[in-house]
Amino acid sequence: MNIKNLIYILLSFVILSCNGQSKTGDKKNIEKQNTELNLKITYPKINHREIPQTWKSLDAIQKDWIKVEKDKDGYLIYQPCDGKTETVKLDGRLTINWRIEEQQKFELEKFTRLTENKAFRADAYDIENKIGFEIKARIVDYKNGIVLWEFNGIKWLMTPKENFKSFRIIKNNCETEKRKELDFLPIEE
């Protein structure tokens, strides 16, 4: 083995060693970012969200709804680390699937359409817990399929569930431990 081959082998070893250290450092930075925010973002494949501008009858109101959030980039559906995305089902009664708590079922007692059929209100009663309250829903952005629902002061922006894939979806992954949930813009009326 001549001196040229020996120098070539030594230089190759040094270069490969340095490259390996660089990659390891980058990998640690990437892992650190992923442990701080482990989000999976899915962008919509379709962009059809529009709902009717008015509800002409109780039957015209969509039956299944999912909560929508808003950030600087627009509307999105958020799947939290510590629970599930809130949903509402309207099928002669009202079922609310809360983020963490058990679902609640309410009998609808009085239903009234408001504001030229762009909104409705209803009196609801939870027979099991003996709780009564008022429900309101108002179309706020029919082109984006957004309706403001209100349950005794709790306000949610919602869209019909069939629009689910028309929104950006952010899933906050937490396989082993709780992570910080994202904050969103407040609801503007």
Arithmetic mean of pLDDT, 76-98: 90
Give domain status of residue 77, yes or no: yes
Residue where the block lists tokens 């009326």? 189
- Top-confidence residue, 92 or 167: 167
Do residues 11 and 85 both lie within one domain? Answer: no
CATH number for the domain spanning 112: value is 2.40.128
Give domain status of residue 20, yes or no: yes
Do residues 67 and 14 both lie within one domain? Answer: no
Do residues 13 and 106 both lie within one domain? Answer: no
Q: Could you tell me the end-to-end alpha-carbon distance of the chain, in angstroms, rounded to an integer?
A: 81
Sequence letter at residue 180 = K
Give domain status of residue 80, yes or no: yes
Q: What is the domain range of residue 24?
A: 3-36
44-82: pLDDT as tens digits: 988 889 999 999 887 889 999 999 999 999 999 999 887
Give domain status of residue 180, yes or no: no
Do residues 15 and 98 both lie within one domain? Answer: no
Residue where the block lists tokens 């359409």? 113
% of the chain exceeding 90 in pLDDT:
45
Kindly report the pTM of this predicted structure.
0.74
